[in-house]
Structure 1
């Protein structure tokens, strides 16, 4: 790992420990490396994900911060922007011109954006077209299914 990347990741990890985003808990997978983080993102109150704890893996690429981290939800979630493999459709995680990643962004911003995505799904930029259709056309059915999945898959996390 380059010294610049290592120092940056150490600074971000220090900030993450002192001031984590609301509803987010994160830690390095290995005490010897800051290349892979695990996170638990709690579903915010007043959302269908409330009470859920969603496990997320964040892998920092070799060219970070010039490339965005790779994020995968390990916990199944009923969401238009998160597919069955846990991949996430979020502008911040994509390079321009399709996305909005900039080297000034950081892991804290990524984790906060993931938590916000659980509060405000974007059905117009969906990975799961069927889920997005339900979100747009029958919000009550979407909320009911998202709550059921949260109870089934996201309540058992440590």
Structure 2
């Protein structure tokens, strides 16, 4: 019961005051409060600028549906971020809300963490050949994140 009330409040807050560059909504009706869809817009100062990236949230899991060239996001859309991992390896806390998690993922897009990669080859490229990484990330954004603009109901 408490979880349902919390999720209803979080979803209402997300709709009323969405984080900058993020839109999130229920995937279905209120019977599936743990299933959300989100759209994240690439920050202007990143290789993901003007891109629209779709995410699927099935609490507690998050996944990119849009292909993205990033050291901390693998080809299946899984995300490596400390707040998504349980302690002792991660820093997840029950007090984190969906908006905070989505904001952290958007920040990660602009500031990759090559020291904790899911894609070691991309992390190495990010560190050793940043201009090539930036160009490839821009190319993937053009190819995968700009073809169609998803909308929500």
TM-score (norm 2): 0.94
Aligned to 2:42: 43
What SS does the corresponding residue of 1:92 show, helix, strand or coil? helix
| Residue aligning to 2:134 | 143
Alignment match, 1:117: 108
**Is 1:55 matched up with 2:54?**
yes
User: What's the offset of the Cα at 1:86?
Assistant: 0.5
CA distance in 2, matches of 1:147, 1:139: 12
Structure 1: gaps (5+ residues): 61-68
Q: Write the distance in 2 (CA, Å) between the matches of 1:15 and 1:34.
A: 14
SS of residue in 2 equivalent to 1:41: strand
CA drift at 1:31: 2.2
Structure 1 moving runs of 4+ over 6 Å: none
Query: Aligned partners of 2:140 and 2:120: how far apart in 1?
Result: 17
* Aligned counterparts of 2:140 and 2:24: Cα–Cα separation in 1: 23
Secondary structure in 1 aligned to 2:33?
A: strand
What is residue 87 of structure 1 aligned with on the other side? 78
User: Post-superposition shift, 1:14?
Assistant: 1.2
2:40 is paired with a residue whose SS is strand
TM-score (norm 1): 0.91
